[in-house]
Structure 1
């Protein structure tokens, strides 16, 4: 009897789980079938979104490639790719309701993998993929056009995304454009130990960092600009407003009892949704301890291994990710700041590990599975 694994989410964790199961489990579990469901027909390398918004820096194929093509090497009866969005999960009947362009489908599963990640609170920003390929790349193109013509740019939110976006624009244009980075907190990066190093790098690039400047509202003006209103009452009029604050988990389709109070999937040490035996989760949808490319990959590997063990009649093992908290922040295309746990690393190392390419050279290997 066919063992069906439904994987929801076509980004780092979802694609990683699907490829691992097909490469390493399928040869031993002959009746295995993997169904991958994704809103986006393409794998969007969102790590590079902060650079993609700068005109002329990246071609579309460098940050977005078709998913289905990467799975073509597997037997046709062992894999199915569905472009659609999950609308509901019934863990009792073991079904998933999926909305596609051709109508609604109900998928039966033996094991379910939740990897639908998070989305930007502001849906007009391309920091995450939360739509079709055409919608996501359309957002990138729109922002490129606005970046090109803007003389004054406000980036709101001084987490990693905000810092990197501000740095990329300033690196490319220098004094041609005035770039302001607003931090709602007293320090950028939420007061992380890297804050002073990153502030220094931003200063070198000419980015104006304004701390304790939390945005209350933003309004379009009749002349096409944006008025940004701070909680202090101050108003800033800008040519381009780029909010990066806040990520929201894509979990609306899930039963409430599978979620934490912050709406992320509540998991046990095996990365199985608590209270279930055959529902697993990996990536930003669990936000453990936070969203991260490296963590998503490790979690996906752990989930794939545990499903493999269970299918072979063995007990799952606790998922181990990385032994320390790692943070790497690129500040343009030549420098950066980072730490391995509490130990800071040289700027040139951050450049080589992350800032030089933002990982886009790995996209083809993620799509075709050779990275796993």
Structure 2
């Protein structure tokens, strides 16, 4: 009887989805042609739905601006193109990793006990989660949908809103809320202020990864929809006041009271299930920044996306690392020798080429925004064309969910020398 070799991908957001589709389309057929074992691909994720969090700032502001169903994709539907002989999707959360036994532990939301699955190769793509749940999905999708509904309702009724954060999510969300509640500015007119919106950042500028000039433009565009920006101010505490209001305490001791408070800063890696010795000081999985391998976890273990120690928590890093991941895992698997299971694969590794410059496109409302690509200023009309109209739903989210545009990464002669 042929040996069973499982290829397991943990996570079904951007990194996990792309990895799963690629392996099923290009790597699995090559392994089956080798005919040395029985291979099966598993994807394990907490939800059977892919939530396109890039577009979450618009949906969280109001589903009249973009419907929630436009950015939620049924994974069963998008994976049904693959044979059950080749692929299994498991709706469950990872609960442990045993690198010695080479097993993954997981638990479904309907179960009370962990189950285990042995792996021959493992890709960890469990990503990260946001403080405010409307901006990401790390559990069953209903939790995120409920947060979207609650956020929409509070934004619609609030007379004052405080948003905390200075990164792209905070700026995009503030712009969406400002345009939704206060109106869209015209060529020669400014909308009437209907609600007080304050964006608080601990930094001296918005979008600190970008140039001060671009940050200043972002502030000006936010002011056009009546969003006030408060700099160099760190929130140290929040508490509930009368009538459900929130009191926000700043580092200087000042208290601000608001109808609705939204934390839109930072992410936390989904790594609590991983052994501590595999994590760095930021609770991220220690990953080789050149090969995408998790060297300390043993052979044929990889990571991609926000969970990795080299990630700057953006989609550009996933795109940059993806070719190296799939080339290296394909060569590792094809060159595997059962008589020498820990032998280093032949051939040359594909090396990750991360862009030293931060690429960022930040819509501020549907037809305005700022950005920088490879250090060059990105004009506002191009921000609107590229991302502002639908937050990349048609260009990126739908193809990513279905894998329809997943293209094969070609090997070089040195890389394919197995």
TM range (shorter): over 0.9
Choose from 218, 222, 228 the match for 1:202. Answer: 222
Q: SS of the residue aligned with 1:176?
A: coil
Is 1:78 the counterpart of 2:96? The answer is: no
Distance 1:177 1:301, change over 3 A: farther
Is 1:271 the counterpart of 2:305? The answer is: no
Cα offset, 1:76, TM superposition:
0.8
Distance 1:13 1:253 in 2: 18
Q: Is the 8 A contact 1:283 1:300 kept in 2?
A: no
Is 1:292 the counterpart of 2:314? The answer is: yes
Cα offset, 1:366, TM superposition:
1.4
Is 1:181 the counterpart of 2:215? The answer is: no
Choose from 325, 335, 346 the match for 2:358. Answer: 325
Is 1:171 the counterpart of 2:179? The answer is: yes
Counterpart of 2:48 in structure 1 is 41
Counterpart of 1:358 in structure 2 is 391
Counterpart of 1:10 in structure 2 is 12
Answer with 1 or 2: which has the greater Rg.
2
Cα offset, 1:289, TM superposition:
4.4
RMSD: 1.6
Instruction: Note the alpha carbon deviations across 1:11-44, whole angstroms, 9 max, x for none.
Output: 0000110000001112211133111011121000
Cα offset, 1:322, TM superposition:
4.5
Q: SS of the residue aligned with 2:236?
A: strand
Is 1:228 the counterpart of 2:238? The answer is: no
Q: Is the 8 A contact 1:50 1:161 kept in 2?
A: yes
Q: Is the 8 A contact 1:38 1:83 kept in 2?
A: yes
Q: Is the 8 A contact 2:156 2:181 kept in 1?
A: no
Distance 1:340 1:273 in 2: 30
Instruction: Note the alpha carbon deviations across 1:321-343, whole angstroms, 9 max, x for none.
Output: 54743111111111111112322
Q: SS of the residue aligned with 1:26?
A: helix
Distance 1:271 1:89 in 2: 18
Counterpart of 1:368 in structure 2 is 402
Q: Is the 8 A contact 1:338 1:350 kept in 2?
A: yes
Q: Which runs of 4+ in 1 moved over 6 A?
A: none
Choose from 302, 308, 311 the match for 2:330. Answer: 308
Distance 1:191 1:230 in 2: 23
Distance 1:237 1:184, change over 3 A: same
Counterpart of 1:138 in structure 2 is 146
Structure 1 unaligned spans of 5+: none
Choose from 210, 214, 218 the match for 2:234. Answer: 214
Distance 1:13 1:89 in 2: 19
Distance 1:191 1:252 in 2: 28
Counterpart of 1:345 in structure 2 is 378
Is 1:98 the counterpart of 2:109? The answer is: no
Q: Is the 8 A contact 2:294 2:303 kept in 1?
A: yes
Counterpart of 2:341 in structure 1 is none
Distance 1:319 1:3 in 2: 27
Q: Is the 8 A contact 2:210 2:372 kept in 1?
A: no
Structure 2 unaligned spans of 5+: 33-37, 183-192, 336-345, 407-418
Q: SS of the residue aligned with 2:217?
A: helix
Q: Is the 8 A contact 2:359 2:374 kept in 1?
A: yes
Out of 184-193 and 75-84, give the one that drifted further.
Answer: 184-193
Distance 2:170 2:356 in 1: 27
Cα offset, 1:130, TM superposition:
1.6
Q: Is the 8 A contact 1:125 1:243 kept in 2?
A: no
Task: Return the structure number with greater relative CO, CA threshold 8 A, min gap 6.
Answer: 1
